[in-house]
Amino acid sequence: MRFKGKLIKWHADKAFGFIAPNGGGSHVFIHKSAFTNKNRVPKVSEVITFSITKDNADRYCACDATFAGEKLKKKQSKKISQFSIYLPLLFLATIIITYTLGHLPQKIMYGYIGLSVITYLTYAFDKSKAQRGAWRTSEGTLHLLALAGGWPGAALAQQHLRHKSSKQEFRNVFWLTVMLNLGVLIWLHTSAGTKYLTLLT
């Protein structure tokens, strides 16, 4: 069912606000991500057409929101990237096998696994914050974690949690951090980088 109301509050810094339904009743929470038109900045007093859903805390909030005069566009289901799932799993398996065979320091193996877990949890917390309209984790922090070695966890989180998986600009920078991280790892196994690798043993 679709509802209509007026946007009575909007916090631009936190990207959320409240709608007063035309039929009366409690004000409805709405986050910027609920709008189908991502390019338009919501303004107080604008008429909004929306549907109702529940967030992770079982609270009612608006979704599939459109501005007056706009038509609701059906969302295409997001496809999971098999490459983004198998690559990090294969990489972590390779890291563990390489360590077992004695070709990789234990600290590097634990570093990748530990940072991947931390990065995955950071994505999960950030998605929860987005749904609640709370203060978000910066994209720079997410990229730094990926660059440091948490990119397998980031890649899995993007697909499993469906978070940061559709923003192309973010994805481009993310894959750049992956290539840089792998480049450093490969360099550590060259004649020039071996002396630095031994410092981690």
DSSP string, 131-165: HHT-PPPPHHHHHHHIIIIIHHHHHHHHHHS--SS
Tell me 28's DSSP state. E
d(CA 186, CA 192): 11
**Cα–Cα dist 31/48, whole Å:** 13
| Shared domain check, 186 and 88 | yes
Mean pLDDT of 173-192: 94
- 193: tokens are 């980088």
Of 67, 100, 115, the residue at which a domain comes to its end is: 67
Torsion 57-124-50-133 (CA) sign: positive
Cα separation, 183 vs 181, whole angstroms: 5
The count of structural domains within the chain is: 2
Question: Does residue 122 sit in the same domain as residue 152?
Answer: yes
- Expressed as residue numbers, the domain containing 110 is 82-198
**What's the rounded Cα separation, in Å, for the pair 75 and 62?**
16
Residue 74 lies in a domain: no
Smallest Cα–Cα separation from 149: which of 100, 199, 105, 194? 105
Summarised one tens digit per residue, pLDDT across range 89-108 is 999 999 999 999 998 999 99
What are the pLDDT digits (tens) for 33-73? 999 888 889 999 999 999 998 877 777 899 999 998 888 77
Mean pLDDT of 114-121: 97
In this predicted structure, the answer to whether residue 75 has a pLDDT above a threshold of 60 is: no
**% of the chain beyond a pLDDT of 70:** 95
Residues 133 and 182 in one domain: yes
pLDDT beyond 60 at 179:
yes
Residue 117 has pLDDT above 60, yes or no: yes
The length of the chain, given as a count of residues: 201
pLDDT score for 77? 52
Confidence at 76, pLDDT banded by 50, 70, 90 = low
Residue reference for tokens 């469906």: 162
Torsional sign, CA 188, 189, 195, 200: positive
CATH of the domain at 14: 2.40.50.140
